[in-house]
Structure 1
Amino acid sequence: MARAVKTATDLDKPRTLEKLEIERRYWLEQDVDWGIVTELDIPQVVVRNIAWVHGYGALSHLSQPYPGYFEELAARVLHELPARPSSSLRKFCADMDEGFSIERGTTLMLVRHLLARKKVRFRMDEPLDDSVPVERFLIPGIERLRSAV
């Protein structure tokens, strides 16, 4: 399957339509399903969720006490998630920040990093913020967190 991603307003431009027709013909010859996706085709909750985690895929650009510090902390956070399924993400992160004696907000940043790296999963068509119960997160290889304990 192949998709062209354009803004809805781009579809009003003749040159854009010409290019899309060339692309459509190419994929037709390749016998590949082809279509156009605009921002109107993507649910806003998905857009917001992607925006919430998108900038956290890499942490190496952040100042850290030693190389790999945040990755080490992220591994500890990943280990702790299954042990606290009934907690909200906000409470879990506050407890971890305090327990690890790290700056407030660091654990939330790490959870967003784990989501961006797909080490933790969440249904992106459901609202995602720090009020979400931890049990709604999935760790690949482990069933829902509530059944992991």
Structure 2
Amino acid sequence: MARSKYAPSETKYKRWIKEGRGNGFGSDYLPWITVRDVPSDGRSHRVFGHKSQRTHHLLSDLELAVFLTLEWNSQTTDIREQFPLKREETLNIALDNGIKHPAEAGVKLYMSSDFLVDGLDLQLPQYVIQAKYINALKDPRVIEKLEIERRYWLLKKVPWFLVTENDVSPTLVQNISWIYPAEQDEIDDEILLDRTAYYSDLFQQNPNKTVTDICKLTDRIYNQTDGSSIYEIRQLLANRCFYFDMLSQPFHLLKGKDFVVENMGNLIGARHVSNQ
């Protein structure tokens, strides 16, 4: 049977290391795993980060929710997703604790943490988050791998946290569920730029009107089908052309003043890089 393109190999790992994956900070960081490196189940996301000014690779809806929580936290300064652990160290931890190290097709896998986070809090300047759905924690093997990861960071004196869907804001989940299906839509850069400029002006002109009222008025003025404007905004948000505090309230209650336009030059540049 043909070897899957997603299968691990030492050759692949050497290439990733040569590419600089797992290295860098801010806009220069390269995640160890990208959405192209795992089978697509429709739940992976490439999301532009306002803090980092680069595209982040998130492998589940839960990772997306955690990322956005970190993104909107004013204490967060850098988010490095899919951060690799040194394989020789995880192998030693597994051996010392009688845990079988993750392997596939005879290849010892590089383990990774979902997020390595830097922040301004002097009591917690750096920490790690692993995001797991509650159902996954019923698998003893998952627990074993988490224990290797926990001990890895314990040795490095970096706080490690396990986050489940129960730890995420329901409002954030609601906003994500509404906005992010639109990220699958293919939109040209020029259209994104034009629509962003248009709605940015519209929000500034109507700072105290709700987004739903603004969109209803726009549809009526331009004789558009009801819902046309709200869907365009949904697409812009999914592409991170605007950002807002997704933790505070549901999208439909937001007002024009709640939306902040992104640095479009950096965003478009990041789109080109992530599509190469």
1:125 to 242, 247, 262: 247
Q: Indicate the residue corresponding to 1:43 in structure 2.
A: 169
Alpha-carbon deviation of 1:91?
Answer: 1.3
Letter in 1 for 2:203: L
Q: How does 1:101-120 map to 2 (within 5 A)?
A: 101-120=223-242
Q: Indicate the residue corresponding to 1:64 in structure 2.
A: none
Higher helix share: 1
CA distance in 2, matches of 1:130, 1:45: 12
1:23 to 132, 138, 149: 149
Q: Would you say the 8 A contact 2:132–2:162 is kept in 1?
A: yes
Higher strand share: 2
CA distance in 1, matches of 2:257, 2:185: 25
Q: Would you say the 8 A contact 1:2–1:33 is kept in 2?
A: yes
Q: Indicate the residue corresponding to 2:29 in structure 1.
A: none
Partner SS, residue 162 of structure 2: strand
The normalised TM-score by structure 1 is 0.73
Q: Indicate the residue corresponding to 2:61 in structure 1.
A: none
Gap change, CA 1:138 and 1:111, over 3 Å in 2: same
The normalised TM-score by structure 2 is 0.43
Deviations 1:36-81 (A, max 9, x none): 11011112111111212112235317xxxxx557423343122321
Q: Indicate the residue corresponding to 2:79 in structure 1.
A: none
1:81 to 203, 227, 238: 203
Q: Indicate the residue corresponding to 1:13 in structure 2.
A: 139
Q: Would you say 1:135 and 2:257 are equivalent positions?
A: yes
Gap change, CA 1:95 and 1:70, over 3 Å in 2: farther
Letter in 1 for 2:134: A
> What is the count of residue pairs matched by the alignment?
136
Q: Would you say the 8 A contact 1:77–1:96 is kept in 2?
A: no
List runs of 5+ in structure 1 lacking aligned partners: 62-66, 142-149
Q: Indicate the residue corresponding to 1:52 in structure 2.
A: 178
Alpha-carbon deviation of 1:97?
Answer: 2.3
Alpha-carbon deviation of 1:99?
Answer: 3.3
Larger RCO, structure (CA 8 Å, separation 6 or more): 1
Partner SS, residue 79 of structure 1: helix
CA distance in 2, matches of 1:76, 1:59: 19
List runs of 5+ in structure 2 lacking aligned partners: 1-126, 264-276
Gap change, CA 1:78 and 1:6, over 3 Å in 2: same
Letter in 1 for 2:238: A
Q: Indicate the residue corresponding to 2:220 in structure 1.
A: 98
